[in-house]
Amino acid sequence: MRNARSFGGYGAYRSPRSAMQGVHPVIGEHAGFQDALAGFGIRHAIRSGVLAAECLLTGNDYVTRWKSELGPLLEAGIVNRWMFGLGGKVGMRIASRKLATGDAGGVLRRAYYLTTFRRLALPFARRRYRKALEDPSCSHINCDCVWCRHGDHGA
């Protein structure tokens, strides 16, 4: 890489409540189906689309189906995000090493099991992310820094 420059941005997620608009099932990111840790949403978009189509065809209840089939993954993602935030640089180093040296697919799959620990941690993680994000580094007044666009802020 020549003249490498760091860059960054920010993402946001929200948890789906019903994923229904009136009588219409809503799918994908618009419904809130997105991994809270990494922002992954393609698989959730496809799975929720298939679920919605099946429910429309069969008359099954979409809310019950997505809550049982997608809900645990979304909840594990919320806990993972919380743990990622708590882990800081040390946690990042441990996670990177695990992903680099082992079977990354297996590591990631296991990271999304809603284990007893994750179930217990979920209320704390949810409480943490209910708050609006505060950005101590930037007042957003006359500032063109789109939250870490240039990657130099610690937040």
Ligand X SMILES: Cc1cc2nc3c(=O)[nH]c(=O)nc-3n(C[C@H](O)[C@H](O)[C@H](O)COP(=O)(O)OP(=O)(O)OC[C@H]3O[C@@H](n4cnc5c(N)ncnc54)[C@H](O)[C@@H]3O)c2cc1C
List contacts with ligand X (CB under 6 A): 28-30, 34, 39-43, 45
Which CB, 43 or 128, lies closer to ligand X? 43
Taking the complex as a whole, the smallest distance from the CB of residue 137 to ligand X amounts, in Å, to 22
CA angle 9, 12, 13 (to 5 degrees): 150
Inter-residue contact 18 to 70 (CB < 8 Å): no
Give CA–CA dist 19/28, Å, rounded: 9
Which CB, 34 or 80, lies closer to ligand X? 34
Q: Is 20 helix (H, G, I), strand (E, B) or coil?
A: strand
Torsion of CA 123, 129, 130, 134, to 10 degrees: 150
Taking the complex as a whole, the smallest distance from the CB of residue 38 to ligand X amounts, in Å, to 7
Which CB, 65 or 121, lies closer to ligand X? 65
Which CB, 62 or 121, lies closer to ligand X? 62
Taking the complex as a whole, the smallest distance from the CB of residue 39 to ligand X amounts, in Å, to 5
Taking the complex as a whole, the smallest distance from the CB of residue 42 to ligand X amounts, in Å, to 3
CA dihedral sign of residues 82, 45, 20, 12: positive
Give CA–CA dist 33/67, Å, rounded: 11
